[in-house]
Amino acid sequence: MDATTERAYALVVEAGEEGRLDRFVSERLEMSRTRVQTLVAEGRVKVDGREARKSEAVQPGMRIDVVVPPPVAVDIPAQDLPLDIVFEDEHLVVVNKAAGMVVHPAPGHRTGTMVNALLYHVRDLSGVGGRLRPGIVHRLDRDTSGLLVAAKNDAAHVGLADALRKRQVKRIYLAAAWGHLSESPMTIDAPVGRDRKDRKRMAVSEAGRAAITRVRVRERWVRADLLDVALKTGRTHQIRVHLAHIGHPVVGDPLYGSGWERGMGGPERAWAKELARRTPRLFLHAAELGFQHPVSGAAMRFEAPLPPDLAAVAEWARDLFPA
Protein backbone atom coordinates (compact mmCIF):
# COMPACT_ATOMS: atom_id res chain seq x y z
CA MET A 1 0.00 0.00 0.00
CA ASP A 2 1.63 3.27 -1.10
CA ALA A 3 1.14 6.89 -0.12
CA THR A 4 -1.52 7.40 -2.83
CA THR A 5 -3.85 4.73 -1.40
CA GLU A 6 -6.59 5.37 1.13
CA ARG A 7 -6.30 3.67 4.52
CA ALA A 8 -9.06 1.73 6.28
CA TYR A 9 -9.02 1.26 10.07
CA ALA A 10 -11.30 -0.94 12.17
CA LEU A 11 -11.37 0.25 15.79
CA VAL A 12 -13.18 -1.31 18.74
CA VAL A 13 -14.09 0.93 21.67
CA GLU A 14 -12.63 -0.41 24.90
CA ALA A 15 -13.65 0.18 28.51
CA GLY A 16 -12.77 3.70 29.57
CA GLU A 17 -12.91 5.07 26.03
CA GLU A 18 -16.58 6.00 25.99
CA GLY A 19 -17.39 9.58 25.04
CA ARG A 20 -17.43 11.69 21.91
CA LEU A 21 -16.75 9.89 18.65
CA ASP A 22 -14.41 12.58 17.33
CA ARG A 23 -12.28 12.46 20.48
CA PHE A 24 -12.09 8.66 20.37
CA VAL A 25 -10.95 8.54 16.73
CA SER A 26 -8.61 11.49 17.27
CA GLU A 27 -6.81 9.74 20.12
CA ARG A 28 -6.69 6.34 18.41
CA LEU A 29 -5.35 7.60 15.09
CA GLU A 30 -3.41 10.65 16.33
CA MET A 31 -5.45 13.04 14.18
CA SER A 32 -6.80 16.45 15.03
CA ARG A 33 -10.46 16.46 16.03
CA THR A 34 -11.13 18.91 13.20
CA ARG A 35 -9.84 16.39 10.68
CA VAL A 36 -11.93 13.60 12.23
CA GLN A 37 -15.02 15.81 12.03
CA THR A 38 -14.29 16.37 8.34
CA LEU A 39 -14.08 12.60 7.79
CA VAL A 40 -17.43 12.18 9.56
CA ALA A 41 -19.01 14.88 7.38
CA GLU A 42 -17.66 13.12 4.28
CA GLY A 43 -19.25 9.83 5.35
CA ARG A 44 -15.88 8.15 5.92
CA VAL A 45 -16.66 7.06 9.50
CA LYS A 46 -19.12 4.29 10.39
CA VAL A 47 -20.39 3.11 13.75
CA ASP A 48 -21.40 -0.56 13.85
CA GLY A 49 -21.86 -0.51 10.08
CA ARG A 50 -23.94 2.64 9.80
CA GLU A 51 -22.77 6.11 8.85
CA ALA A 52 -21.66 8.06 11.90
CA ARG A 53 -23.60 11.07 13.09
CA LYS A 54 -21.98 14.34 14.06
CA SER A 55 -21.03 14.61 17.76
CA GLU A 56 -22.45 11.20 18.68
CA ALA A 57 -21.13 9.23 21.64
CA VAL A 58 -19.45 5.84 21.55
CA GLN A 59 -19.67 3.02 24.08
CA PRO A 60 -17.42 0.02 24.81
CA GLY A 61 -17.89 -2.76 22.29
CA MET A 62 -18.82 -0.52 19.37
CA ARG A 63 -16.89 -0.99 16.12
CA ILE A 64 -15.73 2.19 14.43
CA ASP A 65 -14.62 1.96 10.80
CA VAL A 66 -12.62 4.86 9.44
CA VAL A 67 -11.51 5.35 5.85
CA VAL A 68 -8.72 7.92 5.53
CA PRO A 69 -8.07 9.34 2.08
CA PRO A 70 -4.49 9.65 0.78
CA PRO A 71 -2.66 12.42 2.62
CA VAL A 72 -2.56 15.81 1.00
CA ALA A 73 0.82 16.51 -0.52
CA VAL A 74 2.98 18.15 2.12
CA ASP A 75 3.76 21.75 1.23
CA ILE A 76 6.22 22.24 4.08
CA PRO A 77 9.72 23.18 2.89
CA ALA A 78 12.47 20.70 3.66
CA GLN A 79 15.34 22.46 5.41
CA ASP A 80 18.92 21.38 5.99
CA LEU A 81 18.89 22.05 9.74
CA PRO A 82 21.08 20.36 12.38
CA LEU A 83 19.34 17.19 13.54
CA ASP A 84 20.70 14.60 15.99
CA ILE A 85 19.31 11.30 14.67
CA VAL A 86 20.09 8.53 17.15
CA PHE A 87 18.31 5.70 15.32
CA GLU A 88 16.67 5.16 11.94
CA ASP A 89 15.26 2.25 9.96
CA GLU A 90 12.67 1.98 7.19
CA HIS A 91 9.81 2.44 9.65
CA LEU A 92 10.78 5.08 12.18
CA VAL A 93 13.37 7.61 13.29
CA VAL A 94 14.41 8.61 16.81
CA VAL A 95 15.72 12.14 17.27
CA ASN A 96 17.45 13.86 20.19
CA LYS A 97 15.75 17.24 19.78
CA ALA A 98 17.63 20.39 20.69
CA ALA A 99 16.05 22.94 23.01
CA GLY A 100 14.57 25.89 21.13
CA MET A 101 13.38 23.83 18.16
CA VAL A 102 9.63 23.70 17.59
CA VAL A 103 8.47 20.19 16.69
CA HIS A 104 6.00 20.97 13.89
CA PRO A 105 4.87 23.99 11.86
CA ALA A 106 2.21 26.17 13.44
CA PRO A 107 1.19 29.81 13.16
CA GLY A 108 4.34 31.83 13.79
CA HIS A 109 6.59 28.82 13.17
CA ARG A 110 6.20 27.77 9.53
CA THR A 111 9.89 27.03 9.09
CA GLY A 112 12.82 26.04 11.26
CA THR A 113 10.92 23.18 12.92
CA MET A 114 11.88 19.57 13.48
CA VAL A 115 9.42 18.52 10.75
CA ASN A 116 11.19 20.83 8.27
CA ALA A 117 14.48 19.19 9.22
CA LEU A 118 13.03 15.66 9.07
CA LEU A 119 11.64 16.25 5.59
CA TYR A 120 15.17 17.08 4.44
CA HIS A 121 16.99 14.26 6.24
CA VAL A 122 14.33 11.54 6.06
CA ARG A 123 11.94 12.57 3.26
CA ASP A 124 9.48 9.68 3.70
CA LEU A 125 7.32 10.49 6.73
CA SER A 126 3.82 9.17 7.43
CA GLY A 127 0.77 11.27 6.63
CA VAL A 128 -1.61 10.05 9.34
CA GLY A 129 -0.94 13.06 11.55
CA GLY A 130 -2.05 15.54 8.90
CA ARG A 131 -0.16 17.72 6.48
CA LEU A 132 1.36 20.05 9.09
CA ARG A 133 2.65 17.26 11.32
CA PRO A 134 3.83 14.43 9.05
CA GLY A 135 5.32 11.56 11.00
CA ILE A 136 4.89 13.13 14.43
CA VAL A 137 3.53 10.69 17.01
CA HIS A 138 4.22 12.66 20.18
CA ARG A 139 5.67 16.08 20.89
CA LEU A 140 8.03 18.02 23.13
CA ASP A 141 7.67 21.67 24.07
CA ARG A 142 9.95 24.04 22.18
CA ASP A 143 12.27 24.58 25.16
CA THR A 144 12.31 20.91 26.18
CA SER A 145 15.22 18.89 24.80
CA GLY A 146 15.51 15.16 24.34
CA LEU A 147 14.22 12.02 22.68
CA LEU A 148 11.34 11.93 20.23
CA VAL A 149 10.18 9.23 17.80
CA ALA A 150 8.65 9.92 14.37
CA ALA A 151 7.01 7.44 12.00
CA LYS A 152 8.08 6.92 8.39
CA ASN A 153 4.94 5.06 7.30
CA ASP A 154 1.32 4.87 8.40
CA ALA A 155 1.58 1.37 9.88
CA ALA A 156 4.37 2.49 12.19
CA HIS A 157 2.50 5.69 13.03
CA VAL A 158 -0.71 3.91 14.05
CA GLY A 159 1.24 1.24 15.94
CA LEU A 160 3.19 3.81 17.95
CA ALA A 161 0.06 5.87 18.62
CA ASP A 162 -1.71 2.74 19.86
CA ALA A 163 1.21 1.93 22.17
CA LEU A 164 1.09 5.45 23.59
CA ARG A 165 -2.65 5.14 24.18
CA LYS A 166 -2.13 1.83 26.00
CA ARG A 167 0.69 3.39 28.08
CA GLN A 168 3.23 0.98 26.64
CA VAL A 169 5.80 3.65 25.76
CA LYS A 170 8.35 4.43 28.47
CA ARG A 171 9.20 8.12 28.69
CA ILE A 172 11.54 9.31 31.43
CA TYR A 173 12.44 12.97 31.83
CA LEU A 174 15.02 14.75 33.96
CA ALA A 175 13.60 17.86 35.60
CA ALA A 176 14.90 20.27 38.21
CA ALA A 177 12.05 21.36 40.48
CA TRP A 178 12.01 24.10 43.10
CA GLY A 179 11.88 23.03 46.74
CA HIS A 180 11.96 19.49 48.07
CA LEU A 181 9.34 16.81 47.49
CA SER A 182 7.62 15.63 50.66
CA GLU A 183 7.83 12.02 49.49
CA SER A 184 9.67 10.01 46.86
CA PRO A 185 8.58 8.27 44.76
CA MET A 186 5.31 10.11 44.24
CA THR A 187 2.40 9.70 41.81
CA ILE A 188 0.52 12.78 40.66
CA ASP A 189 -2.93 11.82 39.35
CA ALA A 190 -4.79 14.98 38.36
CA PRO A 191 -6.70 15.79 35.15
CA VAL A 192 -5.21 18.47 32.91
CA GLY A 193 -7.15 20.81 30.64
CA ARG A 194 -6.99 24.24 29.08
CA ASP A 195 -6.84 27.10 31.60
CA ARG A 196 -10.15 28.96 31.36
CA LYS A 197 -8.55 32.31 32.16
CA ASP A 198 -5.49 32.01 29.90
CA ARG A 199 -5.75 29.90 26.76
CA LYS A 200 -1.95 29.72 26.45
CA ARG A 201 -1.74 27.81 29.71
CA MET A 202 -2.91 24.43 30.88
CA ALA A 203 -4.19 23.71 34.39
CA VAL A 204 -5.36 20.95 36.69
CA SER A 205 -9.11 20.88 36.10
CA GLU A 206 -11.93 18.45 36.81
CA ALA A 207 -13.06 19.06 33.24
CA GLY A 208 -9.64 18.09 31.87
CA ARG A 209 -8.36 14.77 30.58
CA ALA A 210 -6.86 12.09 32.81
CA ALA A 211 -3.17 12.72 33.48
CA ILE A 212 -0.72 10.64 35.55
CA THR A 213 2.89 11.55 36.32
CA ARG A 214 5.32 9.61 38.51
CA VAL A 215 8.28 11.40 40.07
CA ARG A 216 11.33 10.26 42.03
CA VAL A 217 14.10 12.34 43.57
CA ARG A 218 17.43 11.57 41.90
CA GLU A 219 19.48 14.29 43.63
CA ARG A 220 18.63 16.71 46.41
CA TRP A 221 20.18 20.15 46.06
CA VAL A 222 20.09 23.14 48.43
CA ARG A 223 16.60 24.36 47.48
CA ALA A 224 15.70 22.21 44.50
CA ASP A 225 15.49 18.55 43.52
CA LEU A 226 16.69 16.83 40.36
CA LEU A 227 13.87 14.45 39.48
CA ASP A 228 13.27 11.40 37.34
CA VAL A 229 9.82 11.96 35.88
CA ALA A 230 7.84 9.19 34.16
CA LEU A 231 4.87 10.03 31.99
CA LYS A 232 1.97 7.57 32.04
CA THR A 233 -0.13 9.91 29.88
CA GLY A 234 0.94 12.69 27.52
CA ARG A 235 -1.11 15.82 28.02
CA THR A 236 0.12 19.22 26.87
CA HIS A 237 2.55 20.69 29.44
CA GLN A 238 1.70 17.76 31.75
CA ILE A 239 4.97 17.64 33.73
CA ARG A 240 5.11 21.41 34.10
CA VAL A 241 1.49 21.66 35.22
CA HIS A 242 1.65 18.72 37.63
CA LEU A 243 4.86 19.88 39.33
CA ALA A 244 3.52 23.41 39.68
CA HIS A 245 0.26 21.98 41.03
CA ILE A 246 2.06 20.28 43.93
CA GLY A 247 4.09 23.40 44.66
CA HIS A 248 7.35 22.42 42.96
CA PRO A 249 7.46 24.09 39.52
CA VAL A 250 10.21 23.29 37.04
CA VAL A 251 13.24 25.54 37.39
CA GLY A 252 13.43 27.98 34.50
CA ASP A 253 9.73 27.64 33.59
CA PRO A 254 8.52 31.12 32.54
CA LEU A 255 4.88 30.02 32.29
CA TYR A 256 4.27 28.04 35.48
CA GLY A 257 7.18 28.88 37.79
CA SER A 258 8.39 32.39 36.99
CA GLY A 259 9.96 34.13 39.99
CA TRP A 260 9.29 31.23 42.35
CA GLU A 261 12.74 31.58 43.93
CA ARG A 262 11.98 35.13 45.10
CA GLY A 263 9.62 33.73 47.73
CA MET A 264 12.46 32.05 49.60
CA GLY A 265 13.97 33.57 52.72
CA GLY A 266 17.17 33.15 54.71
CA PRO A 267 20.62 32.21 53.43
CA GLU A 268 19.20 29.76 50.88
CA ARG A 269 17.58 32.58 48.94
CA ALA A 270 20.91 33.65 47.45
CA TRP A 271 21.54 30.09 46.27
CA ALA A 272 18.10 29.92 44.68
CA LYS A 273 18.58 33.24 42.91
CA GLU A 274 21.92 32.05 41.56
CA LEU A 275 20.38 28.77 40.34
CA ALA A 276 17.67 30.75 38.54
CA ARG A 277 20.30 33.04 37.00
CA ARG A 278 22.41 30.12 35.79
CA THR A 279 19.49 28.16 34.31
CA PRO A 280 19.26 29.30 30.66
CA ARG A 281 15.90 27.71 29.90
CA LEU A 282 13.28 25.26 31.07
CA PHE A 283 15.15 22.55 33.01
CA LEU A 284 13.34 19.64 31.37
CA HIS A 285 14.94 16.95 29.23
CA ALA A 286 13.48 13.76 27.71
CA ALA A 287 16.27 11.43 28.81
CA GLU A 288 14.92 7.93 28.12
CA LEU A 289 12.55 6.47 25.54
CA GLY A 290 11.49 2.84 25.34
CA PHE A 291 8.90 1.04 23.23
CA GLN A 292 8.24 -2.11 21.23
CA HIS A 293 9.01 -1.64 17.56
CA PRO A 294 5.59 -1.27 15.87
CA VAL A 295 6.53 -3.55 12.96
CA SER A 296 9.25 -5.98 14.10
CA GLY A 297 8.16 -6.20 17.73
CA ALA A 298 11.75 -5.75 18.94
CA ALA A 299 12.33 -3.98 22.26
CA MET A 300 13.77 -0.50 21.64
CA ARG A 301 15.43 1.64 24.31
CA PHE A 302 17.30 4.93 23.94
CA GLU A 303 19.01 7.30 26.36
CA ALA A 304 20.16 10.89 25.96
CA PRO A 305 22.26 12.56 28.69
CA LEU A 306 21.62 16.10 29.83
CA PRO A 307 22.76 18.54 27.13
CA PRO A 308 25.70 20.82 28.01
CA ASP A 309 23.59 23.82 29.08
CA LEU A 310 21.63 21.87 31.70
CA ALA A 311 24.56 19.62 32.64
CA ALA A 312 26.54 22.72 33.63
CA VAL A 313 23.71 23.88 35.89
CA ALA A 314 23.44 20.46 37.54
CA GLU A 315 27.21 20.32 38.08
CA TRP A 316 27.17 23.72 39.81
CA ALA A 317 24.26 22.72 42.05
CA ARG A 318 25.73 19.29 42.79
CA ASP A 319 29.19 20.61 43.67
CA LEU A 320 27.73 22.98 46.24
CA PHE A 321 25.47 20.34 47.72
CA PRO A 322 26.57 16.78 46.85
CA ALA A 323 23.75 14.29 46.37
Please confirm, yes or no, whether 141 is among the known catalytic residues.
yes
Collapsed DSSP state (helix, strand, coil) of residue 145: strand
Length of the chain: 323
Residue 321 burial (CB < 10 Å; 0-12/13-18/19+)? Answer: middle
Q: Within its chain, how far is the Cα of 225 from the centroid?
A: 23
Identity of the residue numbered 1:
M
How distant is the alpha carbon of residue 19 from its chain centre?
23
Q: What share of the chain is helix, strand, coil (3-state, %, to 5)?
A: 25, 30, 50
Say which of 22, 141, 225, 228 is annotated catalytic: 141
Give buried/exposed letters for 288-303 (b at 16+ CB in 10 A, else e). Answer: bbebebbeeeeebebe
Q: In 157-305, where do the E strands start and end?
A: 170-178, 186-189, 192-194, 202-204, 212-220, 224-231, 284-292, 299-303
Determine how many CB atoms are found less than 10 A away from the CB of residue 142.
16
Nearest to 242 by CA among 215, 262, 264: 215
H-type helices in the chain, by residue range? Answer: 21-29, 33-41, 114-121, 154-165, 238-245, 268-278, 308-320
Residue 92: CA count within 13 A, CB half-sphere: 27
What is the amino acid identity at position 130? G
222 neighbors 271 (Cβ within 8 angstroms): yes
Q: Are 296 and 315 in contact (CB under 8 A)?
A: no
Q: Which amino acids are annotated catalytic? A: 141
